[in-house]
Every structure is written in structure tokens, then in C-alpha cells.
Chains A and B, each alone.
Chain A
Amino acid sequence: MEQKIAVKVDDLTVAYNYKPVLWDIDLEIPEGVLMAIVGPNGAGKSTLIKSILGILKPIAGSVSIYDKPYDKQRSLVAYVPQKGSVDWDFPTTALDVVMMGTYGSLGWIKRPGQKEKKAALEALEKVGMLPFKNRQISQLSGGQQQRIFLARALVQNASIYFMDEPFQGVDATTEIAIINILKELRKAGKTVIVVHHDLQTVPEYFDWVTFLNVKKIATGPVKDIFNDDNLTKTYGINYKVSIQE
């Protein structure tokens, strides 16, 4: 059976101040994969996600989500930004942050109600953060904050999840909890795309991988393309995978 393409990127070029950070990216992400985007610092991993989500405007190329532009498909997509991208001293609670995930389906002006609150509480339960629902967000540990972000994405009940370094600065327990939830999402037929740093865990966590360094180096199933050759091409140095399969 032909696999459906969830995300398609065509000839995407993105620049900051006229300096291209992504060159001519072509990428097809099949539905139902759990994919890592790996590459060195400054490779444009976050930029790629932000461009797909319309947060950054590309200077060339196009993106489609299930064959339609992102604007038309917002409700199918959930996004977890880098934890460090927000001010955790913002005066709000864990529950309230998760509720923000429901704002997209509400649209402008309409307020969240009981239905949205119930969905948010369920998402908090799923990530094991229900006891902390009324905690001010600055009073949460780094791992707990990341779980709150994950819950906020879950509440969007999307088909495609984009996550920007969800494992950054979290303890081992949280990392396992998060990856289990991501695997559950894949089992439910969702597509999950994760900017990832730790090469050691790629084969264990993911089934699909994209190597990125300003240009796309390779993309495909982990078992086929996660090898020394591609790692060397991406990271520039002679790379040896020290991972037991």
C-alpha cells in the first residue's frame, strides 16, 4: 500500500538577514513515522520546523500538510517550541498553559469553556502532571515544564506533532516518560517530528530520521540510513557510530 505523505517540503530556502540558513530543502515525511531531525548546531533544525509552521517566512519554496498549505491545515498540527523560548515567570498556572493548546480550535475571540478545561485536565493526567495543575509555572522543574508543553500539544489532538528539542534539560525519568508518549502517538497513527540532539538514542527512539546541515543530507528509515557515512556528511568530522543495534 502506498504510504500517505503527511508533510511535503519543496525547494525550501530560508534566510535570516539575507544569509541562507536552509538551502533548497526537499523533504517528504510519510504519515505515521516517529522522525528525528538531527544535525550540528546552526544546521537549521528549528528553522525548518518554524518554516513548516509558518512562523518564519521562507524566501523560496513551499510546504504542504496533507497536500494543502499549512494555513488550511492548522487544526491537524501541534507544535512544542523549545522550552527556553518562553518566559517561565509569566503569571500563569500549569493548567492554564495546557489550555492554550485549545485556543487554535476556538479561533479568535471565543473563550475556552468547560469542554476545553476537561480536555486540558485529561492531557495533564496523561503526562502525569495532574497533581501540579494549579502550580505556578516557574515553580515547576525543567522536566515538569517540558511535560506541560507536551500536554499542551496533546490537547490539540492533532495528526502531526512538531517538537523542538523536547529532551533538552530533562532528567532521565522524564525523557522516558516523554518518549513513551511519543511512541503511543505513533501507535495511534500520528506523525511525530522531533528535533533531536542525542545521536546515541536515535535508533532506540525513532524509526525515521532526517540529517540536516543547511542542506538536507539524507532522509529515510533509521535502519537504512543511520550510518557512519551520513553522520560524517552531516557533522563534517569522521564519525563512528558507537551504537549497538
Chain B
Amino acid sequence: MSNAQLEIQVIASLVAIACAIPGTFLVLRKMAMISDAISHSILPGIVIGFFITQDLNSPLLILLAAITGIITVVLVEYIQKTGLVKEDTAIGLVFPVLFSIGVIMIAKNANDVHLDVDAVLLGELAFTPFDRLIISGADVGPKSMWIIGSILIITIGLLIAFFKELKVSTFDAGLSASLGFSPAVIHYGLMTVSSVTTVGAFDAVGAILVVALIIAPAATAYLLTNNLKRMLLYAICFGVFSAISGYWLAHVLDASISGSITTMLGLLFFMVYLFAPNKGVIAVMYREKQQRTEVSLLTFLLHLKNHTEESERHVNHLNEHINWQKVRSKTVLDLALKNNMIQFDKNIVSLTEKGDEFTSKAIDYIITNKDAQIEHMKDDFFLFRG
């Protein structure tokens, strides 16, 4: 692995981490689409900044672009507040306008300078190692590594300092306001960080694909944990994993690095979406199937409890009587036997003591809907987990 290859991967990973942190909060605030808006509408900021500085990595350019990002958020909120259109419409109205202003500015003025729409939209990670930062004659590494590194350090600092405030205002803005943590201040703080990160990252993955690095890792992490800190950590890991594996995918396919990184993000989300232990599609399907069986089990047990006469409890009779398919009857019988809830006596089924107690409790719960007594049942049966 060459030095340049290593540097590209380091930059991609730093971008991924810097995006995952604000991304987690944006996803939880159901504001993921605002990152899409910001990523587009910073274009005029970048173009104006570039005209002034003639340097795509200048801090002034980042500042100007970040301000455009904030203007986007303010405009969206202003239009939304009029009550005439909904938030998604407001977003859709604002960013194409700002974006197209940027496109026109590039077309009119930047023909003879080194700035084209492709570079801004898609980024070119492969070129980042060529633009070096030279301090008093010494080469200290690629410029973009220093830029995104500085942004990341500030982001992490802010996250650690204001974690509690971010959490409470994201979960419950009303409480946050009443406690004196202004949700507006935190909101605009988060928006500023998102804007700055987006600008810092556009060089690496492009202004469009940065959205994927903001949203996808957080959305993936959300499916795997019920703990905010862990969600942040997972999002960061997914981001870095996609950045590095995406780089090598691009290497193998000889394709765009940013495109490959985004493809990895999509694949990763899809795998987790299918296989996540609790919220994944397969887990949910399994749970629903189990619940159906458990309802059948309870119906069956209740039938046994209500009928003392032997004719009602004969194995063959049960098949006809409760009117189930053979397979289902077998599943239910097996489950009941496995849990020692029924016993056989010459093809006559009866409840065991445990089965009898379980049935009473379950029925009692379903009728009274009292939670406390069935805590231990929740561990064994999906049916009672709500």
C-alpha cells in the first residue's frame, strides 16, 4: 500500500466520522433531509469563496459555504412557519434555487479556472494527496486531511461538551426549553456543525454523496441499538468501515471512490435491515410467526381448561374441534409439551399444574392488562412483550 493510498483512506475515514456524529442527531430529529438541502445549497457559497480565494481548501471558503448552509435552514424554517407549505415542500423549494445559482455562477465565470460542477458534486478523493500542506518548507500531509481533521476535532469537542443538551433537546424539546436549554440555540448549533462538516467533506466525497455519509451510518446504527452513545459509536464504525472497504472496492473495480463508498453504505444498511437482531425484517417476521403460534397455544390451553370431559380432549378430536391444520396442531402440541404444560394419557390431553397456572395468569393478564405479574412470562413468550 502506497503512502497516497493510506492518505486517501485516512481522509475518507475522518470524513466518515465527522459526518456520522451530526448525522446521528439529524436522523433522530427526523431532519435527515435537511442535510440533503445543505449539501446542495452550499454550492453558491463554495463558488463565491473560490472566486475570492482561488483555493478550494481555504478556511474563508468553508466559512462562506457554511453560512449558505445556515441561510438554507433559516429560509426553510421561514417558509414553513408561514403555514402555507409543509417542511418537505419548503426544503424542496429552497435548495434547488440556491444550488442553481451556484451552477449558473460556475458556468458564467469559472470556465477558465479550476472549478467544475463535477468536482463539487462528486468530489475526487483520488486527487486529495496531491494538494499538500507545506508549513515553512516542510510537507505535513494533504491539505484536506488537515481541514477535515480540524473540523472533526471541533465536532468531537462540541459533542462531548454538549452531549446532555443535544440528547434532551432531541428527545423532548419542551422539557429542554423549560429547563433553560434553548432548543433553538442547540438546533442552530447542530445546523452549523452539519454545514461546516458538509463543506469540509465535499472535497472528499462530493457535495451530493456526503448525504449518504451523514444519513446511512446513523440509520444503520439505529436498527441495532437502544442506546444513544452506542448508536453514535456504531454509526462511526459503519462510516469508517464503508470508507475503507469502499476505497478497496473502487481499487478492484477501477471505479469512482466516492461512488464505491456510498455503495458500501447502501449494502451495509441493507444487510443490517435484513438481519438486525430485534428491528431487522427477518427478526420481525420470526417474532410475528412466534406470536401467532403462542396465541394458538393459549387458545388450545384454554380449551383444555374449559373442558373436563374426555371426549373434548382426545387428540383426534382436538384436530377437528379447534379446526386447525395438521402442521399447526403439531407445532402447538410440541410447544406445549416442551414447556411441560400438557400431558398425555392414552391420547387424552390434559393440563399439567404448570400449564394450568400459566393459562390462568395469561388470561388474567389479557383481561386486566396489568403488567407487573407477568414480567417473567415476557422472557419466554413474545406475546406479552407488547
Contact = CB atoms under 8 A, between A and B. Distances in A.
Q: Say if A and B assemble together.
A: yes
A103 B170 CA distance: 14
Q: Which of B82, B168, B180 has the most CB of A within 10 A?
A: B180
A17 B171 contact: no
Contacts of B161: 109
B331 interface: no
Contacts of A71: 180
Q: What is the interface of chain A mostly: helix, strand, loop, or mixed?
A: mixed
B230 to A, nearest CB: 8
B2 interface: no
B178 A53 contact: yes
Contact of A92 (B163, B165, B226, B371): B226
A100 B180 contact: no
Interface string A24-53: 000000000000000000000000001001
B202 interface: no
Interface string A106-120: 111101100000000
B370 A86 contact: no
Q: Which of A93, A100, A143 has the most CB of B within 10 A?
A: A100
Given A90-B28, A90-B170, A53 B369 contact: no
A144 B81 CA distance: 35
Given A53-B177, A139-B386, A87 B171 contact: yes
A167 B346 CA distance: 54
A91 interface: yes
A100 B168 contact: yes
B225 interface: yes
Q: What is the interface of chain B mostly: helix, strand, loop, or mixed?
A: helix
A152 to B, nearest CB: 8
Interface residues of B, number: 35
Given A139-B385, A171-B369, A74 B180 contact: yes
B160 to A, nearest CB: 9
Contacts of A91: 28, 222, 225-228, 230-231
Nearest to A107: B180
B164 A111 contact: yes
A79 B177 CA distance: 10
A54 B177 contact: yes
Q: Which of A87, A90, A91, A103 has the most CB of B within 10 A?
A: A91
B178 A103 contact: no
B227 to A, nearest CB: 6
21 contacts: A17-B82, A50-B174, A53-B178, A54-B178, A77-B178, A86-B172, A87-B28, A90-B28, A91-B28, A91-B222, A91-B225, A91-B228, A91-B230, A92-B167, A92-B226, A93-B226, A100-B171, A100-B172, A111-B164, A136-B226, A144-B371
